[in-house]
Chains A and B, each alone.
Chain A
Amino acid sequence: MNNLLILPIIIPLITGMFMVIVRKRIYFQRMLGILAIAGTGAVSAVLISQIKNEGIQVLHIGGWEAPFGVSLAADMFSALLLLTSSIVSLFCLIYAFGSIGKDREMHYFYPLFLFLLTGVNGSFITGDIFNLFVCFEIMLISSYVLISIGGTRIQIRESIKYVLTNLLSSLLFLVAISYLYATMGTLNFAHLSMRVAEAGQDGLLTAISLLFLIVFSLKAGLLLFFWLPGSYSAPPTAIAAIFAALLTKVGIYSIIRLFTLVFYHEPESTHLLIGIMAGLTMVLGAIGAVAYWDVKKILTYNVIVGVGFILAGLASGTTEGMTGAIYYLIHDIIIKALLFLIGGTIIALTSTANLRDFSGLIQTYPFLGWMFFVAALSLSGIPPLSGFIGKVFVTEGTFEAGYYWLGGIGLFTSLMVLYSVMKIFMNGFWGESYLDEENGQKLKKGLLIPIASLTILTVALGLGAEGLHSFASLAVKSLMDPSLYIEAVLGKN
């Protein structure tokens, strides 16, 4: 029992509810937002050290023992994601101060942002599949409102598609849960895992697991990403950045959790299918990233490539592959937020997203240019930066599992990703400066600080990969061996 576990859910929830009351006091809300997210980050840092020393932390809510009540469980994997997501959302929030505009701030932007985090954090640490559904809904309903807040034409149009897709996937999620309840009679992850292991994963259970795969693929953008490019290019920059950083990652987290903890008995059908879907996702995403001349479109298709790459690590089913998936997941959360913030800043400065319409930004904005360069190299996995180590491990894992084609696709799409972001750099930043002195706007410090911090973070994560390794290997250990999780939640009997 560890009461700290409830804090990552309850801090943003209560702060958000309080903010609704003080709607008009924007500065107060900003300070509260920073405090709440920093608090969540501090709690997750404490959790990480506790998990490192004492193993997986569990909280049975209301004191009801595991299969009967809702339990929260944090292993190293969840805690690392909690910490990363609170750091990244803190910087997105700071970016929003200077860019989101007074109208949106007055209309509950900050409470919605915190409710979104409530859902994300809840999804990361819940130990119950129906509770996961509820946390998903908290996250999704906040994201429905965040994507349409402001009500411009493009936002309204895209939010209809986004809401419809996610409504449908939520309904499918419920269908899958009801099938699972009918066959196994329990909803707790640990208990499910035990019962599936006892009953043996037959054809019916594999079919249910594939239904879950479809549901989470819709959320994560694994192959079923048709809704993603439109939805992620509609909202304002700070919101698009937090979406790109966190929303798909929750789907990825659920896939990893479910297929390492519960449905791990038939890897030759389920994991192979995940591998094939991941390969197709990488290829199709890379084609999209290369094809467009629109900054936002290129970046959204890069989100899709990242999803494919992380799940390729899961598909390999090896320790190396999983380590790579964890490294790459953490890297991807940071780098996608960073790229979306820089991309949004470029669009705000040039007031166009079309790469053919501007050039020579490096003369006016050298800092922004070089930070974009670092981010681009980090995204494609150039050695000293954070994307490298994840890519190495994932490739190693896929080769070890004999999926040479999957590793090959991963490496090849890295090239296409590098080409797509370098296209932004070379066309947008090099060349003749099209801005003269008077129509070049000054870059606000408030926008530059979060971008610079995230850049430093991605460099530090690349240089300090060794320091992260002990945490990542602990996370992999609990993912590869479900008995650790079951023992922590259900006790030793």
Chain B
Amino acid sequence: METMLSILVGVLFTIGTYLLLSGNLLRIIFGTSILSHAVNLLILTMGGLKTGAPPLLGLGRSTFTDPLPQALILTAIVINFATTALFLVLSYRAYKVLGTDDTQLMRGNENE
């Protein structure tokens, strides 16, 4: 199971990196979003995928899955959500101010 998820994470990383290297701002943001999915899956995988009950004591079971990676992912998701929202608004503003979403055209010129 870990092997399959690792391959999936690898595929997501490839797609994310490819999108990051494109010239379009929105594709770059999609790239970071896919990368953050990959990272969250990686944390889950690295915590171990043994079978066990969800980490709720009320279930009265003897084995539970590792609760720590889930807490880490929850934190990481919220942080990524905030930064992605900020990045989206920033790119919208950049489109309004700079008049382009092509990163190649966002070069500096001397007279600014």
Q: Taking CB as reference atom, which chain A residue is nearest B41?
A: A178
A135-151 interface with B by 8 A CB criterion: 137, 141, 144-145, 148, 151
A-B contact count (CB 8 A): 87
Contact, CB under 8 Å: A174 / B46: no
**In the assembled complex, A83 has its CB within 8 A of some CB on chain B:** no
Instruction: A182 to B47: give the CA distance in the assembly, Å.
Output: 6
Judged by a CB distance under 8 angstroms, whether A153 is at the interface is yes
Whether the pair B83, A141 counts as a contact (CB closer than 8 A) is yes
Residue B63 interfacial (CB < 8 Å): no
Given the known interface contacts A148-B90, A164-B32, A179-B46, the answer about A153 and B98 at a Cβ–Cβ threshold of 8 Å is yes
A141-B83, A174-B39, A182-B46 known; A156 vs B94 contact (CB < 8 Å):
yes
* Residue pair B82, A141 in contact (C-beta under 8 Å): yes
Instruction: Assess whether B87 is in contact with A167, with CB atoms less than 8 Å apart.
Output: yes
B72 CB, nearest partner CB in chain A, Å: 6
Q: Is the CB of A137 within 8 A of B90?
A: no
Q: How many residues of A contact B (CB 8 A)?
A: 29
Kindly state the separation between the CA atoms of A274 and B18 in the bound complex, as whole angstroms. Answer: 29
Binary flags per residue of B77-109, CB closer than 8 Å to A gives 1, else 0:
001001100110011011001100001001010
Docked complex Cα distance between A167 and B47 (Å): 23
How far apart are A219's CB and chain B's nearest CB, in angstroms?
15
For B69, list chain A residues within 8 Å (CB): 178, 181
Query: What is the minimal beta-carbon distance from B32 to any residue of chain A, in angstroms?
Result: 5
Inter-subunit contact A153/B97 (CB<8 Å) = yes
Supply 20 A–B pairs (Cβ within 8 Å), ascending by A. Answer: A144-B83, A145-B86, A148-B93, A151-B97, A153-B98, A156-B90, A156-B97, A160-B94, A160-B103, A163-B90, A164-B32, A164-B87, A167-B83, A168-B20, A171-B35, A174-B42, A177-B43, A178-B43, A178-B69, A181-B68
Contacts of B25 in A (CB 8 A): 160
Chain B residues contacting A187 (CB-CB under 8 Å) are 68
Kindly identify which residue among A157, A163, A230 contacts B86, using a CB–CB cutoff of 8 Å.
A163
Q: Are A171 and B36 in contact (CB under 8 A)?
A: yes
